[in-house]
């Protein structure tokens, strides 16, 4: 499953929470920790067409190609990786691609567990305000050599 245009969708409120949890030890040593709030880092600062410094408030998204992009993605998406999946289900991730692996005694059981696991996964992704690119999503069944057959509809 692929997350559709995550760079534009990633909610900065979620990043605030993820940063707070991921960097709590650093924050405890910093002076702004006493206020209980993160500094407002959600401004994009750039040089405008006239050569003057400009800033713009950013609430959603991460600039594509940004050096912070992968770090911010990891911090936010870590919540998805912590979800409780049914026995026999687990996630493998690479960048914004996620593989839901499901095992079962037979194909029907594997499909049943994959359906439950996918529903749990999709809810966690939607909770982050992200969208799954269904057009890039595939289902592949691997079976033993002696148990060939079509995946039931």
What is the pLDDT, as a whole number, of residue 131? Answer: 85
Which tokens go with 153? 């509809």
pLDDT in tens, 90-111: 999 887 788 999 988 888 888 8
What is the pLDDT, as a whole number, of residue 31? Answer: 46
- State phi, psi for 88 to the nearest 5 degrees: 90, 0
The answer, yes or no, to whether residue 138 has pLDDT greater than 90, is no
Is pTM, for the whole model, over 0.85?
Answer: no
Higher pLDDT pick, 9 / 141:
141
What is the pLDDT, as a whole number, of residue 32? Answer: 44
The answer, yes or no, to whether residue 24 has pLDDT greater than 70, is no
What is the pLDDT, as a whole number, of residue 89? Answer: 92
Return the exposure string of 29-45: e unless at least 16 CB atoms fall within 10 Å of the residue's CB, then b. Answer: eeeeeeeeebeeeeeee
pLDDT in tens, 50-72: 888 877 776 666 666 767 777 77
Query: Domain coordinates of the chain in residue numbers?
Result: 14-28+38-136
């Amino acid at each position: 499953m692929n997350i559709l245009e995550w760079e534009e969708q990633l909610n900065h409120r979620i990043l605030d929470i993820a940063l707070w949890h991921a960097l709590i030890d650093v924050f405890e040593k910093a002076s702004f920790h006493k206020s209980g709030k993160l500094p407002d880092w959600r401004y994009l600062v750039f040089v405008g067409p006239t050569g003057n410094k400009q800033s713009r408030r950013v609430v959603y998204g991460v600039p594509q190609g940004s050096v912070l992009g992968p770090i911010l993605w990891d911090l936010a998406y870590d919540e998805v990786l912590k979800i409780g999946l049914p026995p026999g289900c687990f996630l493998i991730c690479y960048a914004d691609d996620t593989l839901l692996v499901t095992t079962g005694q037979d194909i029907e059981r594997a499909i049943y567990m994959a359906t439950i696991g996918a529903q749990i996964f999709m809810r966690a992704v939607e909770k982050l305000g992200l969208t799954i690119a269904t057009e890039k999503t595939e289902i592949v069944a691997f079976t033993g050599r002696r148990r060939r057959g079509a995946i039931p509809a």
